[in-house]
Amino acid sequence: MQTGVLKLKLRSLNNNKATRLLSLSEIFTVCVRFHWGRIETLKTTNTTVIHRDCYREARELFHLPASTIQQARDKAVAAYRAHLERKKRDRRSNPPTFRRTLPLRLAAENLRIFPDKSVVRITTPDGFLWLPVLIPSCFAERVKLPHGVSELVRKGDDWFLMLAVKSPDVPVPDRERPHFGLDLGLAQLAVLAGPGVAKFFDGKPLRYTRSRYFRYRQALQAKRKVGMVKRSKGREYLWATNHNHKVSREIVDTVAKASGILHVENLTGIRERCKGTAKINRMLSGWTFAQLLQFITYKAAACGVTVIAEDPRHTSQRCSRCGHTERGNRTKQAAFACKACGYRLNADLNAARNLAARGACPSGVGGVTPPGRSGAESGEPKVARLSRHRGNRNLASSS
């Protein structure tokens, strides 16, 4: 199910209706503040605990339908969750104040829309409230879809209904799916590129933790504390595994949201095919990248995202704008500057875009292989499996 929100303007309301609507919004806002206060004391996001603690009291205090009180509780819980999330990133983050009147939330059962009469009916504790609404012809069909939790918002003297509608999923044909490329590296652990997306996953935390553990173990080894060395290795492994879980989750979610196809570097057999590439040697010395790809593969399978393993050769030397491929394009480790068209960008982002471009031109290499080095020595299909990864093997083919 996909949800969309239709913004519908209400026709001007008479005084009585406007007052009733405004007072409902205000009571709802106070109800959210009440729940927020309780949540702050309880320090929980568990709705059952919160419900037990304050539902009865809220029913007595607020003249609102039961489901609207639940919506107020959910709104406060969501705000608390977002606040905790922000606090994790920045300790100084302030809690929300709910000073302004909030939009009135309506559970699906409290709202009914009559398209042919151009009215919406909302349930209030004092009976139904009928509101005239403007339905543009472009929304005429979509307002009939089943709807979810919607909101009534006031802007100046106008009221709007933000109607959440659920439309059944329409499978996107492979040809129209956006292609994403994922470049792995050391300065950036991973760079994800796709239409309108450029995400960088900094390699610094990983490098820092690894070197810290390395130095710690050196010191232990000097004192011949073998048991502690072992335990420290276990802790490092746990830390890095957790880090890979987070990174892979974000990558897969981004691609899944766009119903895209993800192109990753194929690490299998890379040692034979690309002898002596400094980057490859460094990458293979750690297990991190193989594990990251393994996590991405199984998470992608769960979300219905197709992962295609691509031959990573020349992705760092090719210009993602004009296709010109030359070693000199890579001026520094981090910078890419095309000798042919002068395009400049982050080198890892350029590589990720090149990987994404492999999917966009399925006829073959799409200018990735320079003339003279046709890549014939491999003779294998462009699409390979990440065979080293135990998790999931159903990587679909690109055709």
Find out whether 308 and 395 touch, Cβ atoms under 8 Å. yes
Provide the minimum distance between the beta carbon of 308 and Zn ion in the complex, in angstroms, as a whole number: 24
Strands 197-202 and 306-310: unpaired
Which CB, 193 or 290, lies closer to Zn ion? 193
Strands 127-132 and 335-337: unpaired
Which CB, 198 or 345, lies closer to Zn ion? 345
Provide the minimum distance between the beta carbon of 321 and Zn ion in the complex, in angstroms, as a whole number: 5
Provide the minimum distance between the beta carbon of 339 and Zn ion in the complex, in angstroms, as a whole number: 8
Neighbours of 192 (CB within 10 A): 26
> Which amino acid appears at position 293 of this protein?
L
Provide the minimum distance between the beta carbon of 278 and Zn ion in the complex, in angstroms, as a whole number: 24
Provide the minimum distance between the beta carbon of 385 and Zn ion in the complex, in angstroms, as a whole number: 32
Strands 111-114 and 119-124: antiparallel
Alpha carbon 24 to its chain's center = 35
Return residues touching Zn ion (CB under 5 A): 319, 321-322, 324, 338, 340-341, 343
Which CB, 259 or 320, lies closer to Zn ion? 320
Provide the minimum distance between the beta carbon of 341 and Zn ion in the complex, in angstroms, as a whole number: 3
DSSP 397: P
Provide the minimum distance between the beta carbon of 337 and Zn ion in the complex, in angstroms, as a whole number: 9
Alpha carbon 151 to its chain's center = 24
Q: Which residue reads 């070197």 in tokens?
A: 211
**Strand-pair partners of 193:** 181, 198
How many Å apart are CA 335 and CA 351, to the nearest integer? Answer: 11
Sheet of 261-265: strand order equals 197-202, 188-194, 179-184, 261-265, 306-310
> Which amino acid appears at position 35 of this protein?
H
Cα–Cα distances in Å, from 82 out to 39, 76, 85, 141?
13, 10, 5, 34
Which CB, 75 or 353, lies closer to Zn ion? 353
